[in-house]
Amino acid sequence: VNENLSVSYGEHTTTSTATSAVDQELEGINISYSMGGMTIAIGDHDGKNISNVSGTDNSETEILLTFAF
């Protein structure tokens, strides 16, 4: 977006060769802002059919604060 703000989005689908398996679907968005030696980042990620197993869903949100000295 600019030299201090960054936004990213990603998707990924994994298909298994097993006959009973379903597609694993992953997506996520990350936003980070840097100022001087400090960065704050927020990420939100969702997964469906983890390990190609139906109904095994996962969601996570993370907040990171880093300092450079």
Q: What is the DSSP string of 3-65?
A: SSEEEEEEEEEE--SSTT---EEEEEEEEEEEETTEEEEEEEEEEESGGG-TT--EEEEEEEE
Write the pLDDT tens digit of every residue in 23-57: 999 999 999 999 999 999 999 999 999 988 888 99
**pTM as predicted:** 0.76
Q: What is the pLDDT at residue 59?
A: 96
Confidence of residue 21 (pLDDT cuts 50, 70, 90): confident
Spatial CB neighbours of 27, under 8 Å, sequence gap ≥ 6: 9, 10, 11, 12, 45, 46
Asked if pLDDT for residue 19 goes beyond 80, the answer is no
Q: What is the pLDDT at residue 1?
A: 73
